[in-house]
Amino acid sequence: MSVIAPKFRLGYLIKGITDNIFWIIVLMTLIGIPVVQIVLIYIDFPVIDGEIWNPFRVFDAMTHPERALPLVKNFMQTDLFKIVAFPGFGFAALIAAAVIFVERKMLAKLQLRVGPFYCGKVEGILQLMGDGLKLISKEIIIPAKADKPIFWAVPVLFAATAGAFVALIPVAPGWVVADIDLGLLAVFAVIGFFPIITVLAGWSSNSKFPFIGGIRALYQMVSFEIPLILSLLGIVMLTGTLNLSEIVESQVNFPWIIFMPIGAIVFFICILAELERIPFDLPEAESEIVAGWLTELSGMMYGLVQLGSYLKLYAFAGLFVVLFLGGWNGPWVFPIEPIAEVITDGIVIMPDALVIKDIPGLPLFAGEMINGTIWFVLKTAAVIFFILLPRGVFPRVRIDLLLKIGWYKLIVLAFVNIFIALALVYSGIIGPGGIM
């Protein structure tokens, strides 16, 4: 057989990494430092307590661990950090990017090909960035007869709804953007938005194939939402709470999947259907209806929908982990005892004018948080792997068979799961009145 791509060589790998590092350093030096210098010319340095705070002094003060770390920790307690960086968008987008890369490489290995190889020099690791650049640079074409405001709103709404879904997932103890008492109900509410958005997309693009795709998405999602909600009721009965963080805390000893494997299977199949992934990718069935409700979307509009769908993938996998696999609970894998010297009660880090009184002490991360995040990410990766795997194994199902699966089989199984939960609660083995 002819050789498609060069064979893997460690030398090339190391060369690629060092090349990338070299260029980053060169660009930072050539562009970054002059820019900083030019900016500094136009800035008047403040004078505090008779001392000019020039950049060197500020830099010195900021990089001193005793001064900088409490500031960083203070910043990490803000809502902005939570939304933008850690349990929120940045973390989810990072996982989504990793998922796209792993999906491509894994599918390629499954199908006896190579996958992304050249972009970024190291196993095509920058392919996603290249694709993003391509999508941004492409022209956005809107059909002449489209309902323009709604058509514009669709990708934004989709990504925003997926982001709202991400905000509800608790990652580590105390690390959740929106810790609300009715968390699970909020999840159902957010999921309920997706079919509306797809129908809006199909309707507003005023084209036949998106219309069929939108209608298909509507009845696929609606018919799978019912077993999805029913399959989670068992956990609500056993834990007696809708708060996702409390549901995780109730699984300290064992995950709920031990008692409710049926519910977990039903929920997993519903995830596949809600995510429009193969074998349930009927709303985007290429050989029947071109790209379904995505047909008329172009450029970064399509990119936003893809971003939203991968955020949704992460959020659903995270929800599965939170509800069935015990979330952040797990053995201690990161045994770092905080060093005694760096535990402080908070310090005065600036001269009197800038004193921040209630800066919390070190260390930066609690041990539970790091350990919990590691376990959460590992479990989520495992769930995502199983969500990706059917794409290489199954063909697409037909719409009548899909609805039959949803209405006849999954709802019945979900009820069986509820009866199991009821039996557990009333027999007093487990549940709010039991050993929990």
Partner 1 sequence: MSSHVYPKEKEIFPGLQLEKVDDRIMTLNVGPQHPGSGHMRIILKVDGDYIVHCDPDPGYVHRGEEKMAEYRNYITNIPHLERPVIHDSCNILYPYCLGVEELLGLEVPERAKYLRVIAAELNRCVYTQYWLAIYGIFLGHSTMFMWPMGDRELVIDLLDKMTGARVTHAYFVPGGVRNDLPPNFEDVCLRQVNYFEKRLKEYADIFYDNPILISRTKDTGILSREDAIKLGTTGSVLRASGVDFDIRKKEPYDVYEELDFQTNVLKEGDSYARSKIPWLDMFESCRIIRDALKKMPKSGSVRVKLKPNPKGGDTEVYRRVESGRGSLGMHIISRGKPQPYRLKISVGSFRNLIAMPHLLTGEMLGNMPAVYWSLNYWPVEADR
Residue placing its CB nearer to partner 1 in the complex, 179 or 288: 288
Applying CB under 8 A, what is the total number of residues that bind partner 1?
A: 31
Pick 345 or 400: Cβ nearer partner 1: 400
Indicate the DSSP class of residue 292.
G
Residues 406 and 273 sit within 8 Å (Cβ to Cβ): yes
Q: How far is the CB of 247 from partner 1 (least distance, A)?
A: 33
By CB under 8 A, the residues from 286 to 305 that bind partner 1 are 286-290
Least distance in angstroms from the C-beta of 391 to partner 1: 7
| Residue 279 binds partner 1 (CB under 8 A) | yes
Q: Could you tell me which stretch among 142-150, 175-183, 274-282, 355-363 binds partner 1 (CB under 8 A)?
A: 274-282
Tell how strand 47-48 and strand 51-52 pair up: antiparallel
* Residue 400 found at the interface with partner 1 (CB under 8 A): yes
8 A C-beta contact, residue 264 and residue 324 = yes
Alpha carbon 111 to its chain's center? 27
Q: In the Cβ-directed half-sphere of 46, how many Cα atoms lie within 13 Å?
A: 7
We find the least distance from the C-beta atom of residue 400 to partner 1, in angstroms, to be 6
Among 64, 134, 208, 409, binds partner 1 (CB under 8 A): 208
Q: Tell the smallest beta-carbon distance from residue 395 to partner 1 (Å).
A: 4
- 399 forms part of the interface with partner 1 (CB under 8 A): yes
Peptide bond into 363 cis (omega under 30): yes
Residue 408 as a binder of partner 1 (CB under 8 A): the answer is no
Which member of 370, 392, 416, 436 binds partner 1 (CB under 8 A)?
392
Residue 259 to residues 241, 251, 403, 417, 423: CA-CA distances in angstroms? 17, 11, 27, 9, 11
By the rule CB under 8 A, 278 interacts with partner 1? yes
Cα angle: 291, vertex 293, 294; to 5 degrees: 60
- From the list 12-20, 88-96, 147-155, 204-212, the region that binds partner 1 by CB under 8 A is 204-212
Q: How many Å apart are CA 76 and CA 92, to the nearest integer?
A: 17
**Under 8 Å between Cβ of 230 and 269:** no
Q: From the CB of 303, what's the least distance to partner 1, in Å?
A: 20
Stretch that binds partner 1, among 49-57, 207-215, 302-310, 312-320 (CB under 8 A): 207-215
Residues 91-150, interacting with partner 1 (CB under 8 A): 107, 110-113
CA Rg value for the chain: 25
Give the nearer residue to partner 1 in terms of CB position, either 336 or 401.
401
User: 131 or 246, CB closer to partner 1?
Assistant: 131
Indicate whether 212 belongs to the interface with partner 1 (CB under 8 A).
yes
394 makes contact with partner 1 (CB under 8 A): yes
For the bound state, the minimum distance from the C-beta of residue 226 to partner 1, rounded and expressed in Å, comes to: 21
- Should residue 11 be labelled a site residue for partner 1 when binding is judged by CB under 8 A? no
Identify which of residues 331 and 395 has a Cβ nearer to partner 1 in the complex.
395
- The secondary structure element, H or E, covering residue 187 is helix 183-191
- The number of residues making up the chain comes to 436
- The CA distance from 261 to 254, in Å, is 13
Q: How far is the CB of 144 from partner 1 (least distance, A)?
A: 18
The closest alpha carbon to 184, from 123, 122, 246, belongs to: 246
- Nearest-CA neighbor of 312 among 101, 135, 96? 96
Q: How far is CA 189 from CA 57, 194, 225, 229, 309, in A?
A: 51, 10, 11, 11, 17
**Other CB atoms within 10 Å distance of the CB of residue 265:** 16
Choose which of 350, 391, 416, 436 interacts with partner 1 (CB under 8 A). 391
Figure out which of the listed residues 228, 319, 323, 397 binds partner 1, where binding follows CB under 8 A.
397
Report the interface residues with partner 1, using CB under 8 A: 1-2, 107, 110-113, 208-209, 212, 278-279, 281-282, 285-290, 391-401
